[in-house]
Amino acid sequence: MSLADLWAQHWFRAFVTGSLVLVFALGNFYITLWLERKESAWIQNRLGPMRAGPQGLLQVLADLFKLLQKEDIVPRNVDRILFLIAPFIAHIPALLIFLVVPFGPNMVVADYDIGIIMIAAVTSYAVIATFIAGWGSNNKYSLLGAMRGAAQMISYEVTLVMSVIGVVMMAGSLKLSDIVLAQAERGVLGWYLFPQFIGFIVYLIASLAELNRAPFDLMEAESELVAGYHTEYSGFRFAIFLLVEYVHMIAWSAIAATLFLGGWVGPTPADIPVIGPKLFGWMTGPVWDNVWGFFWFLFKTYLLIFILIWIRWTFPRVRIDQLMDLGWKFLLPVSLFNIFLTGVMKYGWNVLAESGSPLRWIFWLWR
């Protein structure tokens, strides 16, 4: 095979992979936006969208079509280049996260050995897009929203990374597929959710701040800043910011499902005692492993998305000073304590296991 053929094959594979990631993100954005509206309606004791399609399934499509029809207004005094490119820059980090997330046993685009570091590096660019949008709009409300967003996202990014270090310590790897396999090897109750419950709670709270979701939606804060950093945007550019918010929520939920809930690992019909192998024994092999792995991955991801939406429509918005105090004065020390606790408990298990002491079962969760 010639060098030109190798290059063509490489770029074709990259194009197909990128297209699949984009389709996955757009499809789940559609479902998540519909779920947000229905869940908020259930919480508020109403029906939600019902007219466009069965159970309002086509309402999201109708709203997106409406946004695409609206005039794309570019105010006269904006920094035109920054104003126009900000929505697209914001979309890149959200999509890049899916490159390292394993959807199944053999369903990962780039299984990097430093997957956790790659995620932390990529997501840090989201704050740049937010600030570009606020600064380029030449609007005081947009600038205030962007400054809040920069302070909020930089502050909570530190806590977010600290909250997953305990998982890395227990798995002994930064590779996401290795973390999933390490949980699978632990057997029943092997999810890191249990020994890393403190880290999971810190991750959940910090991710709400990173995602700009209520009760931490201070960079939008409609009652104070109109719409925050995207006040001046309209039409399809506003739709892109809406898309970015929900794709980020899906990505962060997928990461949490991978790190704390065992990722793709879960029972299959063939695992049912006695009757499982007889009735569903044909559902075996690499293909079925990926099918059921993808199912469990999506199930766990949407379970977390359901919780994030529930939180949004339950708690009121906090003040900016309360938000910063929570991050620096409470969550960061708690995440550091979780790292210390993980080290002590894991070291205690290793020492007692080597000595054969029966006391090692006190540290069983941290094995």
Domain coverage including residue 106: 20-270+281-324
In a domain, 203, yes or no: yes
In a domain, 261, yes or no: yes
- What pLDDT is recorded for position 359? 76
In a domain, 59, yes or no: yes
Q: Is 341 exposed, middle or buried (0-12, 13-18, 19+ CB in 10 A)?
A: middle
In a domain, 136, yes or no: yes
- What pLDDT is recorded for position 188? 67
In a domain, 42, yes or no: yes
In a domain, 294, yes or no: yes
> Tokens representing 81?
């280049």
In a domain, 276, yes or no: no
Residue/partner pairs of 11-17 with CB below 8 Å, 24 or more apart = 17/109
Domain count, the chain: 1
In a domain, 83, yes or no: yes
- What pLDDT is recorded for position 227? 76
Residues in contact with 159: Cβ distance below 8 Å, sequence separation at least 6, in sequence order: 202, 206, 327, 331, 332, 335
Q: Are 270 and 283 spatial neighbours (Cβ–Cβ below 8 Å)?
A: yes
Q: What is the pTM of this model?
A: 0.93
pLDDT mean by block of 10 residues, the chain; 367 residues: 76 83 92 94 92 90 87 86 89 88 89 91 86 89 88 90 94 94 85 95 94 86 78 87 91 95 88 75 82 94 95 90 93 96 90 80 81
> Tokens representing 352?
């007692």
Q: Are 228 and 142 spatial neighbours (Cβ–Cβ below 8 Å)?
A: yes
Q: Is 7 exposed, middle or buried (0-12, 13-18, 19+ CB in 10 A)?
A: exposed
- What pLDDT is recorded for position 64? 86
Distance (Å, whole) CA 276 – CA 341: 41
DSSP string covering 296-320, please?
A: HHHHHHHHHHHHHHHHHTTSPPPPH
- What pLDDT is recorded for position 252? 93
- What pLDDT is recorded for position 167? 96
